[in-house]
Every structure is written in structure tokens, then in C-alpha cells.
Structure 1
Amino acid sequence: MARIFITGSADGLGKAAARTLLADGHEVIIHVRSEQRLAGVQDLVTQGAAALVADLAVLEQTRDLARQVNALGRMDAVIHNAGVYSDPSVLSVNVVAPYVLTALIQRPQRLVYLSSGMHQGGRPDLEGMDWSGSRVTGSYSDSKLFVTTLAAAIARRWPDVFSNAVDPGWVPTKMGGPDAPDDLRLGHLTQEWLATSDAAEARTTDGYWHHQRRVEPHPATRDLAFQAQLLDALARATGVSLPPGP
């Protein structure tokens, strides 16, 4: 059974994935934004999950979360699920936090980053981006383009790791709204599959997935120069460098 860390597990797709993985017998470490949100995951803790607390909009708390995860031992997989839609922290939570956690958590075998079909409307332009979350400089679509590019960059930098991005679809979560037309179960199935399956297709890297099918992401995510620019911008903004490959 695998040991899996999932960010943003208080509700929505993160909590649904944690619930399924626990039921399948995996060891699951969940994450919530604040102590107040722990009550909402007590059912998962009762099933055996370990719960960690950190506000991913705050860089130092994100760094501390990496220390908390490392103290538990090496993860087999990390699912970067946490995200916000319309908030000044959209870049810090959706992009900076996955980058920092990727750089600082002991390298797992598998990395899964939550993207969105809306990344296709993102702008491959890093000029003027405020990564601190103190003001709005990038949209949700921009953030998902950047995190999809991050997943592709990690796949190239760490060829010994399976690094993939997932479009979960427009599903009826708190973010998606009750009228979202897509299937909630399919919205978290691919993350679970990429994190744990021994199927040959799941043990691949540099994919952009929708409902267990590879689809084509925005062309900018494959642009090596843009990947390098993004990693450099995040390293300068956070003071955290991504370790080199093997």
C-alpha cells in the first residue's frame, strides 16, 4: 500500500480522494488550511489519516508544511490538490505552494498536480506577476497554466519521478458549484489512479490527463524556455531552489 500526501483535503476533490484511498487501504496524510478546519476532516482521521495544518497562502507556513511531511517519512505520492479560484492568493496557493512543496518534500515516486481545462485560457507571460499574494496580478486560468507547466518541467528535470497534471473536469464541488455538469467520481479518480496504480499507463510521466485519458495541454507547457523562466521566477520569489535531477 502507498503513503500519499494530499494538499487541500478539507473538502471537495481532495477530501473525496482521501476517503477513497483510505478505503482502499493506503496510508493517507491530509492537509487543511487552519486548526478550525480540522473538525471537518475528523471522519478521515477516524479512518486512520494523519492531518497537517498550514495556510498555503503564507510562504513560511508552506515551508513548515514540507518539514511536517518529511518528519513522517518519505511519501510514495503527493497530490497537489489545494487551490483557490478568485482570491489575491491565487498564484501563491495554486502555483507557489506546489513549487515549494515539490522542492522541499523528500522526492516521492509520483507527483500529481491539479490543473483545469481553464488553463487553456491562461497567458504564458510571467511579466509583473506578484507571487506573494498581496495583490492580484494573475488569473485562475494563468495559475493553472503555470502549474501545468510546472508538472511538465518537473517531469523533464526529474526523469526518475512520474510527474503528471490532471484536469478533473467541471465537477459539483464548493469551487465548481452545485450545477457543474461533470461526474464527481471521475473528478478524483484520475488523481488516485496516477498516485497508486501499477498499470503501465499510470506509471508514465509528463502527461496531462482528463478522466484517465491523455489529452493535449496548452502548447506553452511544452516550451522548454517557458518552463525554465517559470522555475527561475519561482526560485527568485521564494528563495527556494528546485533540486537537480538524478
Structure 2
Amino acid sequence: MFNLEGKHAVITGAGSGIGKAVAVLLAKQGATVYVADINEEQANNTAGEIGGNAVAKIADVSNQEQTKAMFASLPRLDILVNSAGVSHIGTAESTQEADMDRLYTVNIKGVYNCLHAGIPVLRKSGGGAIINMCSIAATVGIPDRFAYSMTKGAVYSMTLSVAKDYLKDGIRCNCISPARVHTPFVDGFLKKNYPGKEQEMFEKLSRTQPIGRMAKPDEIAGLVLYLSSDEASFITGTDYPIDGGFIKLNN
């Protein structure tokens, strides 16, 4: 099961965090993975760690020309994982115009650019799977996540639209909505905003998941693997929460 031999996969934001975990796992299952990231050093490090069936692709997904050039260079495409994204802390009042523009440019336009450029390559390759990295913030009110939640709501809507529009082309499109995941971003956020209290705040954030901890990037990658595989061939237009009980059990 979950054999990806002969499949070609683009994973954006694969230089670190969830994207890196996805790239490593898909490659382990036999896929040729294109490690797409704006950070050249991180992309090369991930590709080097994976080895022979990984290729680093340096691209800013918010730039359509760079994104088109990346997809045009591929021999084929079977799996597209839109994992690149940025976060922001703030309410509608405290979020500045520059913050909103930055979040839109990466989290919404970046996903659109990859869909716009990637879907023709998927179609030419005979179809395939798209997995968009959404968030529980798309459907649940999270304090101080106004702009971020807005962008993930857009990712959710794009997922449904693409799933509907490309049924005839054999292209499946689903999204995954994690709760908090322990990535380098979390460590950096805590160090910047809670110096000297990192462990205390880490434990507090961990307890917001009823299961009592944050997710591991590898756990998110496992769900991506399933949705990428032929075993999930009957699944499209669906959002998959992976949230330690956050949505249903936080009463």
C-alpha cells in the first residue's frame, strides 16, 4: 500500500517543517520529489537529506513567473502539495495593511499560482492528486488569527472549486486542516515573543489540543501520503482535520 513508484511530486515550502516531512516521506515511498522553497539553502538541505530521487526547486510561489517556470521544467506531475505559507498574530484592529498584503500574497496567491501553473501539467500527465495545507483556523474561531484565518478559509474554498472543476480530468483535490504542529516556526515564535518563558508557553499551547500535545510534522505527512496515493482514489473535495480533538472536543 501507498506505493508511489513512478510518481512525481511537487511539495512547496519543503525546506522545513511540514513540507520537509512530506517530501521525505513521499520520497521514501518511491516518488520523485521536487523540493520547492524560496530558501535555497533549506531546499538544497532537504533534497540532499533525501538523496537521489529529490530535486531542489528554488521559487517564490507568490511570483507567478517563477512558479510557471518551475512547473514548466517538470517532465511530469502526479502529486502537488501546497504547503508553503506564513502566519500572523493579530485581530482585525491590530492587523496592518502590510500584514494583510503579505498573508494574501503567500497563502492565497501562492496557492493560486501553483494551481494555475500545476493543473495543466497534472492534466497532461493523466491526472493526479492535489493536497492543500489548510488549517482548523479556516472553520473555527481562533483568537488573534484574523488574517491567517482569512487566508486558510480561502484555501478551503479553492480546494472545493478545484475538486469540482477537474473531476473530468482525473484530478483529485483535498485539503488538510491541522491544529498546532511543533515546527521550527513554533520554536522561533516562542523565542521571539516569550523570552525566558518558552517552555511554559509551549506547554500551554500544547494543552489547547484535547489530546494534550501538538502534532508532529511526520503525522501530518502520513495523511498527505494517504491522500496522494491510489488508495485514496475515491476521495476528492474533502477537508481532513488532524487536530488532536480540537474542533469536536474543545467544549
The verdict on a shared fold, with TM-score over 0.5 as the criterion, is yes
Deviation at 1:100, TM superposition (A): 1.5
Contact 2:47 2:54 in 1 (8 A): no
Contact 1:31 1:52 in 2 (8 A): yes
Aligned to 1:233: none
CA RMSD of aligned residues (A): 2.5
Pick from 173, 180, 187: which aligns with 2:183?
A: 173
Q: Secondary structure at the match of 1:171?
A: coil
Equivalent residue for 1:130?
A: none
CA contact (8 A) 1:168 1:188 kept: no
Partner SS, residue 57 of structure 2: strand
- Stretches of structure 2 lacking an aligned partner (at least 5 in a row): 89-98, 123-127, 188-201, 207-212
Letter in 1 for 2:235: T
Q: How far apart are the structure 1 equivalents of 2:31 and 2:220?
A: 19
SS in 1 for 2:178: coil
For 1:171 and 1:34, locate their aligned partners in 2 and report how far apart those are by CA, in whole Å: 21
* 2:213 matches 1:203: no
1:171-201 CA-to-partner distances (Å, cap 9, x unmatched) read 1012344654233132221112111x222x4
Q: Structure 2-normalised TM-score?
A: 0.69
C-alpha distance in 1, partners of 2:241/2:23? 19
From 160, 164, 171, the counterpart of 1:161: 171
Partner residue, 1:77:
79
**CA distance in structure 2 between the aligned counterparts of 1:202 and 1:172, rounded to whole angstroms:** 30
Instruction: Name which of 207, 215, 226 aligns with 1:193.
Output: 226
Which structure: larger Rg? 2
Q: How many residues align?
A: 194
Letter of the 2:135 partner, please give it.
S
- Please give the alpha-carbon distance, in whole angstroms, between the structure 1 residues aligned to 2:15 and 2:155: 21
SS in 2 for 1:83: coil
Tell me the TM-score normalised to structure 1 length.
Answer: 0.71
Q: Please name the residue that 1:37 is paired with.
A: 42
Of residues 5, 8, 30 in structure 2, which corresponds to 1:3? 8
1:47, distance to aligned residue in structure 2 (A)? 4.1
Partner of 2:138: 119
Task: Answer yes or no: is the 8 Å Cα contact 1:22–1:47 preserved in 2.
Answer: no
Partner of 1:5, secondary structure, is strand
Report 1:47-62 matches (<5 A).
Answer: 47-57=52-62, 59=63, 62=64
What residue in structure 1 maps to residue 96 of structure 2?
none
Go from structure 1 to structure 2 and tell me whether the alpha carbon gap of 1:26 and 1:34 turns closer, same or farther (over 3 Å shift): same
CA deviation digits over 1:133-170, x for unaligned, max 9?
Answer: xxxxx700000000110000111111131010111331
Greater alpha carbon shift after TM alignment, 2-11 vs 165-174: 165-174
Residues 69-102 of structure 1: per-residue CA shift (max 9 Å, x gap): 2222221010000010025521111111111211
Structure 1: give runs of 5+ residues left out of the alignment: 123-137, 217-246
Secondary structure in 2 aligned to 1:84? coil
Identity %: 21
Q: Counterpart of 1:190 in 2: which secondary structure? A: helix
Cα distance in structure 1, aligned partners of 2:134 and 2:186: 13
